[in-house]
A and B are shown apart, each in its own frame.
Chain A
């Protein structure tokens, strides 16, 4: 399973756009890229998932270059409530695979007023 590397922590201010980049040099052909958000004492919450190019939903955007060796989660106009740990994961989304998630230590995003 492909490993991911992301910054341990990031700081931002309210209203700013935040971009968190994740490296996954050994990503396999069947692997999708998934991002989760986790607040203290809560389970991870699914944010967004993509395979290539750009994916956007009501919460975030995910940018994936052509070589797929990295990805960037973009959070527009963050607020204090976006302070959380963000996990980048890659994994096989083939329906026959286990699809167990391999979490790293994530990126702790701290949003200040």
Chain B
């Protein structure tokens, strides 16, 4: 068990470009969560999956954001037409089910030039 893995760890891109992040949860964890964290703040919930079903999305998740978990294993988070305000750490977490604690990856740090 290698924990939650996120790729890439860092991404620098120009405003207006599209970016995609990947999260590999702990094996056999049914739930997968995405959070966003800006400097000096705690993580903020974006969305979560139960297996392949996306069950809740935060209002923070604008139309430019889309997340998928096609086979109930890994997940991707895509941001289209990036803006300066998208600069943040994007964290992924997984849990076995709703009764168990969430375990986080080390995030993808996105910097928009």
Residues of A within 8 A of B (CB): 34, 36, 41-46, 49, 87, 93-106
Contact = CB atoms under 8 A, between A and B. Distances in A.
Contacts of A87: 42
B4 A101 contact: no
Pairs of residues from A and B, 8 with the lowest C-beta to C-beta distance, nearest first: A103-B42, A43-B104, A100-B45, A95-B98, A46-B101, A99-B98, A95-B99, A43-B106
A106 B48 contact: no
A41 B106 contact: yes
Contacts of B91: 43-44
A64 B43 CA distance: 24
B25 interface: no
A102 B46 CA distance: 11
Interface of B: 4, 31, 33, 35, 40-45, 48, 55-56, 58, 91, 93, 95, 97-99, 101-107, 109
A101 B45 contact: yes
Most chain B CB atoms below 10 A, which of A44, A45, A106: A44
Contact of A93 (B42, B43, B98): B98
A95 B96 CA distance: 10
A104 B101 CA distance: 17
A44 to B, nearest CB: 5
Given A42-B106, A45-B104, A100-B58, 15 more contacts: A36-B104, A41-B106, A43-B91, A43-B93, A43-B104, A95-B97, A96-B98, A100-B33, A101-B45, A102-B45, A103-B41, A103-B42, A104-B42, A105-B42, A106-B42
